[in-house]
Structure 1
């Protein structure tokens, strides 16, 4: 919650700013990292967690022929055709 004074290389000025962006990254093996970032401020890693496979998959099962999570038709067609490569996460 604390702001900070930092030098911004792109504009070559000193600014007072906050880290106000939470960025998430997904890596192979199901590792998820999050960083707190801001304009011209160094990123701070705030978490690193290991994901796990949910046995029912991303849809959590179908209800009355509908998926629990509604996806765009193109996305749904791709998943129906190729599945989700859980092992590659």
Structure 2
């Protein structure tokens, strides 16, 4: 007796089977609530994307953050006299 052969699948059936067996490339989906990362300039009202490190408004030049660098553990002021 001959062993029973599986019926040959059509191209469409093989594509359907592959799609059911494939894994997501990016991993599992994480569901998050919708949010908007936008901040308005308090001086001129221009909207901009909220980014860390952005210090000035692109439209009016308003300074969002004023940072002065001081001596720290890993950061030292440069001595310009050595140049």
Relative to the length of structure 2, the TM-score reads 0.22
Higher RCO, Cα 8 Å, sep 6+: 1
More strand by share: 1
Larger Rg belongs to: 2
TM value normalised by structure 1: 0.21
